[in-house]
Amino acid sequence: MNAKPPKTLDTDQQLFLLTCLRRENAPSKTARKGIRNHLMGCLMLDAGLRVGEVVKLRYSHLYFNLAPVKSLVLTSSITKNHKERTVPVSVRLAEALSSFYTSWLLTDLNRDQAFVFYVTDNTHPLTTRQVENVIKTAGQLAFGRPINPHMLRHTFASKLMRVTDMRTVQVLLGHSYMSSTQIYTHPNEDDKKKAIADLEHEVTGLGKDLEDLAGLDS
């Protein structure tokens, strides 16, 4: 029996979810949490982190010399398979890292070994359940239905599969076996929309060519 394709978010849904996580126009305390939650969403959507990896992140994973890193080095101490992997930082993720640094970390002491995501004490990180609840709540607000953090990782993987080879996707996700990566070969909603758009473009182009030929005959 073939495995079911993983549930993912299309491009519009990703933007809407991140907007709901960000809470930009909320009161200051809520907006500050929104900056934190937005960064967590970006780490899963743009770097494919598992929720268990997100909560283990320390300041030194994301910042170097008071600036966001250009590549995330996920050390063996936080990865699921205990193997280090490196993921380049996207433009959107870099912006989220900068905003978070300004709002959360400028006043922190002993930052190098501090956990990145916390409530009031940076020696006690958020739990995976707390992050799951943040994503679930944002999903309810954005789409009227709950979603889970792994759906964001699935989305990252599916986006990668459209632009690179399966071996690169495997490495960026930190999969030990290629069979774990193969599930992302299934087309998702963005793939279907692109297929129809390409078809319409081809039909429109064919129609124009026929009109041009008719003009030559007249």
pLDDT recorded at residue 105 = 78
DSSP symbols for 6-17 = PP---HHHHHHH
36 is catalytic: no
pLDDT recorded at residue 111 = 66
* Confidence check: pLDDT of 189 > 50: yes
154 is catalytic: no
Beta carbons of 86 and 71 less than 8 angstroms apart: yes
Q: How confident is the model at residue 180 (pLDDT cuts 50, 70, 90)?
A: low
50 is catalytic: yes
Lowest mean pLDDT among 54-63, 81-90, 135-144, 161-170: 161-170
145 is catalytic: no
Residues 89-120 have pLDDT tens digits of: 999 999 999 999 998 877 665 666 789 999 88
Beta carbons of 47 and 87 less than 8 angstroms apart: yes
Instruction: Please tell me which residue in 23, 36, 38, 50 is annotated as part of the active site.
Output: 50
* Confidence check: pLDDT of 163 > 80: yes
Check residues 15 and 107 and name the one with the higher pLDDT: 15
Q: What is the DSSP letter of 177?
A: S
> Taking Cα atoms as reference points, which of 150, 152, 147, 126 lies closest to residue 137?
147
